[in-house]
Amino acid sequence: MAQPPTPELPTLRDLGSDLLVTTPAQRRIALLRPFIGLALFAAAAAAEWWLVLPILVFLIFVAVVTVTHDLVHGSLGLGRRQTEWALFVLGILLLESGHAYRITHRQHHARFPADHADDPEGYPAHLTLLGALSYGPIFLAQLWRWAFAHSRHQPDQRAWLLIEACIPPAVIAAGIGLWETTPAVLFYAAMAIVGSWVYPLLTVYLPHKDFGATPLTQTHTLRGRVIPAIFLELTYHLEHHLYPQIPSHHLSQLAQRLDPFLAEAGVEPWQVI
């Protein structure tokens, strides 16, 4: 039986060009949020509030992933040089490569779901739940390896990638050296590394679970008040795939404006708290 045609997406003009605007205040908040989290982590570690540290690391993760997501898509209004440095600094907050993420994430948008062999970020969506969980420890290394191999004609990008690859072992070594003074550095490094192991599950497998071949079925979107707020609107994954140029701080507005279209197209958002 022939599948009904996919409805034509509303244009950005239809939805409102205000969704593309990032004010200076919004940009400052996005860029400062991870460092505020890091400062709170340092204060909690100094006070020996050890049980609070994993919560703060989680919040740092969300803040960094959100702002780097916007940097990758050029929606924060930074210049080229500013973007390069922001990707570097924000990436190393989580002992990751911001430049590898940019290369592989853009590839994900270009290839998913048709070409999983050439989409290292989207690959876990093609696995089972157990497969996505077990893929966690090697996920970031695979992204870095793919990015390095595919940037052979971009020596400046390879330089960033090589420098970023040196950060995790350097921080781990520093944490070991500072253990007698404070265990917080090694604790932070361990939580950042282990925390990244859930990326394949939370950012790829679950959002794309049971994906289809059309733009409206390639991923899902969540509706709720608490969960989307905690994850700084990154739960609007379908909206992001449809309009990747819209910054995260406008995704909830985009979702509201798209709701009539999605309802008419038969798309059912996942309801969460």
How many angstroms separate the CA atoms of 213 and 80, rounded? 34
pLDDT at 205: 97
Reported as a single tens digit per residue, the pLDDT across 132-189 is 999 999 999 999 999 999 999 999 999 999 999 999 999 999 999 999 999 999 999 9
- Band (pLDDT 50/70/90 cuts) for residue 4 is low
Q: What does the alpha-carbon distance between residue 160 and residue 151 come to, in Å, rounded to a whole number?
A: 11
Q: What is the Cα–Cα distance from 95 to 48, expressed in whole angstroms?
A: 23
pLDDT digits (tens, 9 = 90+) for 226-267: 999 999 999 999 999 999 999 999 999 999 999 999 999 999
Residue 199 pLDDT class (50, 70, 90 cuts) = very high
Task: Please name the residue that has the structure tokens 């993760």.
Answer: 61
pLDDT exceeds 90 at position 114: no
Residues contacting residue 14 through CB under 8 Å, at least 6 positions apart: none
Return d(Cα 19, Cα 255) in angstroms, integer.
11
